[in-house]
Every structure is written in C-alpha cells, then in structure tokens.
Structure 1
Amino acid sequence: MPPLFYPSFQALSLADVIFEEIADRVSGFIGRLGAGWYWRLAGGTLATFRLDCSVTEERWDVIRAQATNPRAGLFNSADFPFALYATTLSSPPYIHDLQGAAEWANRLYFNMGVLIAEAVQWLQMLQAAIISPHVTPPASFPYLNSLEREIVRYALEALDGRFDQAKLHAAFGDRISRRRLSRLAQDWESLGLLTPRPRRVTYALRLLIETEK
C-alpha cells in the first residue's frame, strides 16, 4: 500500500543511511528511485522498501517492505516500525518532517542496527522461500554438485557460515583450485547466495543444499 503522505527529499536522505547499510550486506541493490528503495534478487524477485507514517504527516515511523514474487508466500511483505526498535517506550524514534525540514527525533533511543539486521534477514528469507522444496527452483539458481555442497556445509559447520576462501581451500585444496573457488564465490555472490564481502552463506544457499539432498 503506498503511503498517504510522501516524505520530503530531506527525510528520504536521512533514511538512506539505513538502506546503504542493508545494501552492504545483501547484493542486488538498485538504489532509491522516487520514494522507494529497490532490490533485484535472484529468481526474478523485486523487493521494495518505502518510508511511511502511522500518525501524522510530520511523523515517519515505519518502513514497509513488499516483494513482487508470489512464491514468497508469508514473506511477501514485512513492516519495520521504528518504535519497535526503541530503547525506551517513552521516546520512540521517528523522522520529524515539517515543511521539508527533516531531522531525526529521539535518534539516541533508536536501535537502528537491529532494524537493519532484521531487514537483511527478511531479504535473505525471501530468497530462501523462493527456492523452498515446495516450489521449483528458478533456472537462475545453479545445481550444486556434491563437492560444492560439501564446501557449503563445511562453511556452515566449521566456519560459522563464513565463506573464507583461504580456509576453504586449505580444507578442499586437493579437490578444487583457488581460481575455481574464487569464481564460485563470485558467481554465488552475484546470485545472492553469498552476502557481499566478508562473504557469508545466506538462507537461500543453505536451503538450496537441503533441497538437493
């Protein structure tokens, strides 16, 4: 649902910091176009974030997320109210936007890092939902051979999800070259199966190896 009132340019600029942080962790960020922030994810999914308000024209306090792919199911949409991430109930954070002069209100009481982490999780769960065992994996997702599945499992179990190429090559160097491992990491990152550097295994890649068992 589009917002009833569109935020000013200054308000959008203030909110940019949230989405720049998310973009550092989830590939596919297109940028801010108009009043929305867009991600193009693997599987033909477009995710949109908008800054909206729930009280007055001057109080912008919720980020609404929407995905275009109907196969996302329950993860098709999500709301991230700023008040949910407040460190005190009496001073919820919001962007005060009065006559085009926007500024943060109660910014010190805003646990922005948690909001960013949960938005990242939503995007990753969105990708994972699209390739769940209950649907046909899109052609854009690769088939993983047995060695690739072993590498992913090793990253999850031994490296806490980190796709550390040096450590992975130390463990699998007799079966895969550094060049091939590097290319694999680049390909998976471009598909959203690994996060941008420092690379980590995403929910989508985790689910992909489970799907192909």
Structure 2
Amino acid sequence: MRSLRTPASAPAMRSLRTPASAPAMRSLRTPASAPAMRGPRMGYARQRHSGGPVPEPDHHYWMNRAIELSRRSPRAPGAFSVGAVLVADGAEIAIGYSRETDPKVHAEESALDKLDPHDPRLRQATLYSTLEPCSERATKTRLPCTDRVLAAGIPVVVIAWREPSTFVENCVGVEKLREHGVRVLELPDLAEAAMAVNRHLDLS
C-alpha cells in the first residue's frame, strides 16, 4: 500500500501571511508634507464650521484689495479716488475704480457695469468700497451709487471711511442703505490707508 504521507519532494504549502517584503498599506492620513488649507487668502475669515452657515468673508482681505484698486484711479483735482470689489461665495465677481472707463465713472458704478443687472449673485454679494457710496452726484444725469446698490439688491456693503464734505455737504449713503435694510459695516482701522490716495484733496 502507498503511504498517505506527502512525499519529501512535494512543495510545502505557502503561508497565508503577507511576506515581510510586501509593501505596507498606505495610511489614509494626509502626509505631513501636504499643504494646509488656506484661510484668509481664500477670502474667508479663518474659522471652524461643519454643516453650519457659510463663514463670514474676510472683510479686511477684500477691503485691502479695494484699496489696491483705488491706487489705479487717474488722479483728478475734483474727485475722490475709490476702489470697489464685489464678492459672492468667497470669490471676486467684479471690480472697479474711479475714472476706470470714463472721467465721471465711480468705482461702485464701474464694478456694477461689468455685470448683468439681473445676475443672481448680486442678491448674495458683498460690496467693498473704500469710500461711502455717494447719495448725491455732481453729474445729475447719473444715478448715485447708493441707488445703484439698492437697485442691484446687494445685501451687504463694507466701507473704510465716510465721505467728507469736500464735494457734498452731507452724504447720507450709509443712512440710506441702512434704511432700506442693507447691512453696512465700517472698517475704521483701514480708513487711513483708504484716505492716503486722496491726500491731494481737502479731507477736513
């Protein structure tokens, strides 16, 4: 009778264990070298949220962007140099600055002119203007910027400083916007930077 034992020459059964030389499974954790998510550079304040409301935009980031734009304004002896940025969902959707397209155009006006008046993003946008939107214009054939903001349905306006009585005795842009339900924020710590480009005017 043949022996039931496996002949000595038969190959041994392979172990089911993974050989020591097999590559280890990769960790699902992000490598230490992976870049961190950017906060303010994305236009949002650095804050935690999970399933909650959309984070508040970084107002200082966007106002500094508007101040940068104001420096592009051709200098004029009878007008302010202003920069404006329209932001929706953390992204810049339009920009403008004084006298960008013609000698009379205002910064807010120039930014709004770049968008369709019925653009749905305007209803969720924030307007950053280095100067309070005008409530009265020397050019009577043009709508004041306050009225343009209200017509566009922009819910939030952020400014760096109020319009002085250099050209208009009593600008009431902020008051008019608030009366119509617009949230107006002021950033007085950036007022000096916004005023700097206008020092050739009487700002008293």
TM range (shorter): under 0.3
Structure with greater proportional helix content:
1
Structure of greater Rg? 2
Query: Would you tell me which structure has more strand in proportion to its own residues?
Result: 1
TM-score, with normalisation over the residues of structure 2?
Answer: 0.25
Q: TM-score, normalised by structure 1?
A: 0.24
